[in-house]
């Protein structure tokens, strides 16, 4: 739903990333349909889905490592504009591009690192650059694949705080193994196992679901 953070959880191999890949267009579904805001997008390529308002991050951040941090969200802005480039036109002369990229970096809390080479940033900051790049495309739906993966305690807390600030804007579908983050952030939780939904509902209901506790959360009914 618009403004909702919907978490997808489940054991490794459950199909969580496959689900995001099909929504985002990285993997074309071989059966069924995918609709976004009433539009059938099942056969649309990634770029067309992005232009409809679907943004994406990955388990391993997909960024331009040799670019400055600010140049990554600049790609997101230019993609949204469908800009046709002149061969000798410097992109930073294109209107308010700099202001928009700075705003994307500020939204994730790393505006002061705009000129840093992306590959020299910490793992946590590279994740934030990737999220800023997705946000620069002004998504209506943001797909996040394990945003907490590989983060230390302080970085995880910073990411949780960021996700709380993003809630209520773009709808978010988040795959995550950090259960503390899932149950503190999600409005709805869906549990996958072997490619099938075994439960879906409010976080409190999922936490107390006997089948979920037994098959995934690692607790029996008396725990």
| Full set of structural domains in the chain with CATH | 1-53+139-223 (3.40.50.300), 63-138 (no CATH)
User: Tokens at residue 161, please?
Assistant: 């705080």
Cα separation, 69 vs 118, whole angstroms: 5
User: Tokens at residue 8, please?
Assistant: 């997808």
Average pLDDT for residues 61-70, to the nearest whole number?
Answer: 94
Cα separation, 24 vs 29, whole angstroms: 11
Write down the mean pLDDT value for the chain: 89
Q: What length is written for the chain?
A: 223
* Angle ∠(25,27,29) on CA atoms, nearest 5: 95
Cα separation, 8 vs 186, whole angstroms: 9
Cα separation, 61 vs 148, whole angstroms: 11
Residue entry with tokens 């008396």: 222
pLDDT band at 223, cuts 50/70/90?
A: very low
User: 163-196, pLDDT tens digit by residue?
Assistant: 999 999 999 999 999 999 999 999 999 999 989 9
User: 112-131, pLDDT tens digit by residue?
Assistant: 999 999 999 999 999 999 99
CB 110 within 8 A of CB 73: no
pLDDT score for 212: 87
Left (φ > 0), alpha (ψ -120 to 50) or beta: where does 37 sit? left
User: 86-108, pLDDT tens digit by residue?
Assistant: 544 555 555 678 888 999 999 99
């Amino acid at each position: 739903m618009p403004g909702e953070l919907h978490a997808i959880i489940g054991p490794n191999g459950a199909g969580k990333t496959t689900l995001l890949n099909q929504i985002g267009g990285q993997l074309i579904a071989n059966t069924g349909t995918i609709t976004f805001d009433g539009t059938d997008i099942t056969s649309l390529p990634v770029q067309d889905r992005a232009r409809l308002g679907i943004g994406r991050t990955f388990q391993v951040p997909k960024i331009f490592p040799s670019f400055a941090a600010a140049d990554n969200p600049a790609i997101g802005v230019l993609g949204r504009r469908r800009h046709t480039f002149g061969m000798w036109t410097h992109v930073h002369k294109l209107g308010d591009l700099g202001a928009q990229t700075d705003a994307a970096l500020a939204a994730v809390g790393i505006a002061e690192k705009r000129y840093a080479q992306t590959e020299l940033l910490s793992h946590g900051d590279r994740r934030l650059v990737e999220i800023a790049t997705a946000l620069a495309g002004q998504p209506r739906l943001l797909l996040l694949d394990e945003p907490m993966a590989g983060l230390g305690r302080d970085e995880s807390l910073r990411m949780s705080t960021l996700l709380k600030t993003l809630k209520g804007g773009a709808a978010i579908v988040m795959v995550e193994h950090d259960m503390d983050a899932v149950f503190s952030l999600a409005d709805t939780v869906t549990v996958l196992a072997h490619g099938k939904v075994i439960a879906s509902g409010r976080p409190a209901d999922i936490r107390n679901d006997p089948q979920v506790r037994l098959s995934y959360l690692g607790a029996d009914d008396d725990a």
